[in-house]
Structure 1
Amino acid sequence: MTILSSFAKQVAKLWYSPDLLLIGQRRERRMRMLASLVLVLVGSLWGVFFTLQGGWGIVLMDLLLILCGLGVFILTLRNQVRLANLLLFGVIILVIVGMTLLLDPNTTAAPRATHLYLLPIAVAALMAFRDEPIWLRYGVALLCLGLFTALASSSWAPSSAYNLPDEVRVTGSWVQSIVAMLMLFVLLHILQSDAVERSILDRDLHVALREQQFVLHYQPQLNRTGQVIGAEVLIRWQHPQRGLVAPAEFIGHAEQTGMIIPIGQWVLEQAVRQLRCWNDEPLFAGIGLAVNISQKQFRQASFVADTLALLAEHGIDARRLDLEITETLIVQDLEDLQHKMSALAERGVRFSLDDFGTGFSSLSHLKRLPLDTLKIDRSFICDVLTDSSSETIVRTVIGLGQSLGMTVIAEGVESEAQQQFLLSNGCTQFQGYLFSKPLPLQAFRDYVAQQNS
């Protein structure tokens, strides 16, 4: 029951999660999940039919469909988008070609029609691999078009043993042609709508940056005594028509288009200015701010110089600024990362490794980089009381941080029981809804006054 409950929870998070990057990505994930379930269902039905008919070659193809559907579903749950798409499209293309050659010969009475599905598959590939390298996105689409052309122009078949009779295929050709064209029309409409949505979002982001529609919220970070010692800075978009927009709705697009660089710089500047404003307030003078830094922002050649100039301009203690990086950034260009982090750390800037345990960093990375803080990902904290693996991971991260002389912060703490578990294992800094949601500036000031007075 525990396994089934955990599995159902993962499916629910994936289907209804508010943390997905864009509406389009939510739609794509749902479509991928539905496609995987359809593959399992179709493969099972046809597998039973051809088993009774003794068509073992087709049965193997149906078994491939079932395994593909299960694989895509699991990969989607694990958020491994590229692998899920490669498996899904690879198997679908293989099955369409196989069915065209084995079941659907080109005759004068009934021309081939199964290969028509390669046209909507090509359009679907343009959407599914939209954020992948150009060679992959257009490579899959061109492969579909090339196979379509070859099958439409040839009558060759490896064997006639599985050919369906012409009287069945005449009706089937009409049905498959209509279905394939309807699929093509629907996918072209989705592709056009998606392009319009992205264009509008891109335009609105430029306007938001120019007209300063972004606002900052602050999620408090507390120590074991309940005092606020810092806060994570989180961006929100005060859209003139849509109201307050969560970052999940636009950060992904900003990453893809490069808009994350000026947006990230704006957040950093606002955080430093806020620290400067607090210099003269005793209650806030010791509070630090943690700012998330994107990969593209950190890779800018001028990032170190710009950050140091910003600190010098506002005259703040650099130790109050905490730059949060992710494990993905570590594994991509360690040498450049180490050089830039060291240059900033020498001037007092602190660094946190965000969502630790969800990426691919190793102990050697932790040893080489001037990190001050490890942040335990909320996914482990959520299940720490019910899942033995999460419990072990949390204990290990806390022990690792302590042995390396780092501070460990637990993100996503939502219950007193979770906090007590963390305290009993040596974690003394917390962030989560148990204490406070992200707050606008004035509400954060009131919260600090309440907790620290």
Structure 2
Amino acid sequence: MITADDARPTTPNTPADKQSRRLIAAYKTAALLIMAVGLIWAPILAWWGQWYIAIANMALTVLAAIGWLLINTGRLNTAMVFSEFSLLVFAILYCLMFDGPSAEVPRVTHLYLLPLAMLGYFNYLRRKSYFQLSVTVASVCAFIVLSSTYYVFPFARPIADDIRSVGIWFNSCLATAMMWGCVVMIQREFTRPKGLALELRNAVRNNEMRLHFQPQVDHAGMIIGAEALLRWEHPKRGQVSPGEFIPVAEEAGLMPLLGGWVLREACRTLADWSDDPALNRLTLAVNVSASQFEVDDFESALLELVRVHGIDPARLKLELTESVIVHDLERTVGRIESLRRTGIGLSLDDFGTGYSSLSYLRRLPIDQLKIDRSFVQEALESERSAGLVRSIIKLGLDLGLVVLAEGIETPEQHAFLLKCGCDEFQGYLFGRPMPDDDLREHVRTATLAIAEASPDLLRVALGRTKSARKRALN
């Protein structure tokens, strides 16, 4: 329903939201600026005979280039650790070795420690860690010490005042500009979630949310259901990626609101499908977040929706992630059992990516185990990954569960999963997420193709669907 990665192909090292894109852009810009400064000053200093300082500026250029290359290859976290640490050490050493203040010209290199501290703080907001906090604190402390003392190394080789007086204005302006850029970036980070959260709340009221549906097929290729996936049609920005608005919704506590809208729309959709001979046998899977599942009246509100829309509860399937289960296992088991007694199906989503444990898996009264796309993508890359997928499928089958694999993109992945005994499949190979009208046409076309190829196979598939529905009700 509302997972952050359901709207894009699986591409490694691809940032999922605007925060990461802004951070990458900021790092690349800073790296290019530092390289430019180093390349400009190195030949000038060499011309003036300041070889030690020219070499130091070339070293700075190399450090910035390494950081830029790391970012450009998608290794953002590695680039942050390397750049922040190396630039902090470089700035301190440069001040103590070359940029000693005099009575005529003050020290200036330490000004770069302030934007470095702010960049470290922004990274700390993005991914809290002791390293990012340490960089911020160390940069501020170094700035205070270097701006308050005249200390340099006893063996320092200070830049002559006539040379430093040329660069002091340039470096002061550049450091201030970089600090201003960091202020703007942090200010946007503080204000963006609040603004987007408000827009999200209004989006539900303004009918800007949409459901798309991704087909789910059985081993014969028959479409047996679909997963409901949330999309946001912003009136000004167009399609907003779930990778951008789902984290904001979670942080702002809006998941019950979005999840409630999805359940209402899903029940309405199932009611519409009931009047269509091509779709009235399909199930519809809806992902339920932990905060939504823990709402006190979740069960009663859901059952009221089923009653009001007059749908067969066996055609509705709730997908729960492992994060839902670990909060309160006893209460979760009780709720799942209560929902199953009404005929609603329950699936454990993204199995293996969280807190997988046989101790709780054997206690959960679920119907289906859903293999996460990351396992599917890696299944053909090594025998170890393939063995892990085989074990997950065997585990699910031994527990009497239907095993569904998601994220299937190639015929080779599908063939491998079929050979392993997987029951059901979902992924771009069988259809991308699509609007309701497109799904209807897709189902009719696929059903017609199977009927023309093998009428007996179609009858068997339809009979299997009815039998599964009866088992769910029992």
Q: Give the structure-1-normalised TM-score.
A: 0.74
Structure 2 Cα separation of the partners of residues 304 and 274 of structure 1: 19
Task: Measure, in 1, the Cα distance between the counterparts of 2:397 and 2:443.
Answer: 27
> Which stretch shifts more, 30-39 or 111-120?
30-39
2:46 paired residue number: none
Report what 1:346 is aligned to.
Answer: 338
User: Alignment partner for residue 241 of structure 1, among 223, 236, 242?
Assistant: 236
Pairing 1:336–2:338 present: no
The letter of the residue matching 2:103 is: T
Which letter does structure 2 place at the counterpart of 1:187? C
Could you tell me how far 1:352 is from its partner in structure 2?
A: 2.8
Post-superposition offset of 1:438: 1.2
Q: 2:246 is matched with which residue?
A: 251
Answering whether residue 386 of structure 2 is matched by residue 394 of structure 1, we say: no
1:299 to partner: Cα distance: 4.2
After the TM superposition, which of the residue ranges 275-284 and 421-430 deviates more from structure 2?
Answer: 275-284
Letter in 2 for 1:435: F
CA spacing shift, 1:357–1:134, aligned 2, 3 Å: closer
Q: Give the drift of 1:359.
A: 3.8
Stretch of structure 1 that moved more, 21-30 or 414-423: 21-30
What pairs with 1:50-129 in structure 2 (closer than 5 Å)? 77=75, 89=84, 92-93=87-88, 95-97=90-92, 99-101=94-96, 104-129=99-124
Cα distance, 1:164–1:368 mapped onto 2, change above 3 Å: farther
Other-structure match for 2:431: 436
Structure 1 residue 398, shift from structure 2 partner? 1.9
The answer to whether the Cα contact below 8 Å between 1:96 and 1:117 also exists between their aligned partners in 2 is yes
Secondary structure, counterpart of 2:211 in structure 1: strand
Checking the alignment, whether the CA contact within 8 Å between 2:256 and 2:291 is kept in structure 1 is yes
Per the TM alignment, residue 218 of structure 1 is displaced from its structure 2 partner at its CA by: 0.7
Structure 2: distance between partners of 1:86 and 1:405:
47
Query: What CA distance in whole angstroms lies between the structure 2 residues aligned with 1:41 and 1:391?
Result: 48
Task: Indicate the SS of the match to 1:436.
Answer: coil
- Give me the whole-angstrom Cα distance separating, in 2, the residues matched to 1:362 and 1:261: 27
- 1:361 corresponds to which residue? 356
Give the TM-score normalised by structure 2.
Answer: 0.72
Taking only aligned residues, the RMSD between alpha carbons, in angstroms, comes to 4.6
Q: Which residues of structure 2 form unaligned runs of 5+?
A: 1-8, 39-50, 449-474
Residue 180 of structure 1 aligns to a residue whose secondary structure is helix
Q: What aligned pairs does 1:228-377 form with structure 2 within 5 A after superposition?
A: 228-279=223-274, 283-327=278-322, 329=323, 334-348=326-340, 349-377=344-372
Q: CA deviation at 1:432?
A: 1.4
Larger Rg: 2
Which of 169, 175, 181 in structure 1 is aligned with 2:176? Answer: 181
* 2: CA distance, partners of 1:164 / 1:110: 12
Counterpart secondary structure, 1:237: strand
- Aligned residue for 1:212? 207
* Structure 1: segments with no counterpart, 5+ residues: 1-9, 44-52
1:199 Cα deviation (Å)? 5.6
SS of 1:374's partner is strand
Output the amino acid matched with 1:438. Answer: P
When the two structures are aligned, how many residues end up with a matched partner?
Answer: 424
Question: Is residue 105–residue 165 contact of structure 2 (8 Å, CA) maintained in 1?
Answer: yes
Deviation at 1:25, TM superposition (A): 2.5
Cα gap change, 1:26 to 1:292, in 2 (>3 Å): farther
State yes or no: 1:406 paired with 2:401: yes
* Larger deviation, residues 353-362 vs 212-221: 353-362
Q: Residues 366-420 of structure 1: CA distance to partner in whole angstroms, max 9, x if unpaired?
A: 3444443332333343353344444333223222322333222221222222211
Conserved? CA contact 2:209–2:233, under 8 Å: yes
Structure 1 match to 2:453: none
Secondary structure of the corresponding residue to residue 212 of structure 1: coil
Q: Does 1:425 align with 2:425?
A: no
